[in-house]
Amino acid sequence: MYGISKDLTVDENNRFDGGIHSGVIIEKISYENAKKDGTGKDVLAFHFKGAKGETFRHVEWPVESSDDKAESKVANMSKRIKHILSKFVAEDSIVVGNVATFQEYANEIIRIAGNNYNGKTFEIKLLFDDRGNLGFPKYVGFIAKDAGTLKISATEKITKAAPTSTDEMSNFVPEAF
């Protein structure tokens, strides 16, 4: 039942590193479960693929209406999404009416995007946060139509910080695939 054969290959280069990446495509935009096993929340996901087969999934989460910062969180999410969409859809077409649910919102984003991203390449900026997670910065300026457009500032982290103590290593949990 279990085993490892001689011809089993391990592709360790299928994920992006921190930094600027050119020649990136959007494979799909979908409304999907955050976890592969289906036990997470449903999210709006943007799937990116690099020139060497690297992958990155940017997700936007539903905002709880009971959150006292819900309005600003939704506004910031909308700015990030519009920033992505504006690279392949005319800005005056990026309009979503006041919908009641996150699923309706995600479906509208997917409808607006259509397949307009097919055949287009982008430049993206990926940074590490304080917890060592790789992702887009929280502010706009993380995707561009043209290579050479994005820059890394001196304060942005493009390498993952190493654990500083053995206690941190004992609590280390590898990222789920």
Instruction: Report the half-sphere exposure of 25 (CA within 13 A, side-chain side).
Output: 12
Residue 143 near residue 168 (C-beta atoms within 8 A): no
Alpha carbon of residue 75 to chain centroid: 18
Evaluated on CA atoms 87, 89, 92, 96, the torsion sign reads negative
Q: What is the pLDDT of residues 51-60, one digit of tens each?
A: 999 999 999 9
Q: What is the pLDDT of residues 62-101, one digit of tens each?
A: 999 999 999 999 999 999 999 999 999 999 999 999 899 9
- Look up residue 67 and give its amino acid: D
Name the residue among 62, 33, 1 with its Cα closest to residue 176.
33
Q: pLDDT by residue for the chain (177 residues), tens digit each?
A: 576 776 666 665 588 999 999 999 999 999 999 998 999 999 999 999 999 999 999 999 999 999 999 999 999 999 999 999 999 999 999 999 989 999 999 999 999 999 999 999 999 999 999 999 999 998 899 999 999 999 999 999 999 877 665 555 555 555 554
Task: Identify any residues that bridge with 15 across adjacent strands, giving them in sequence order.
Answer: 55
Q: Where are the domains of the chain?
A: 19-170
Exposed, middle or buried, 137 (CB in 10 Å: 0-12/13-18/19+)?
Answer: middle
Alpha carbon of residue 80 to chain centroid: 10
Q: Quote the tokens at residue 124.
A: 């993206």
Q: Model-level pTM?
A: 0.83
For residue 116, what pLDDT is reported? 98
Exposed, middle or buried, 44 (CB in 10 Å: 0-12/13-18/19+)?
Answer: buried
Residue 106 near residue 44 (C-beta atoms within 8 A): yes
Residue 163 near residue 169 (C-beta atoms within 8 A): yes
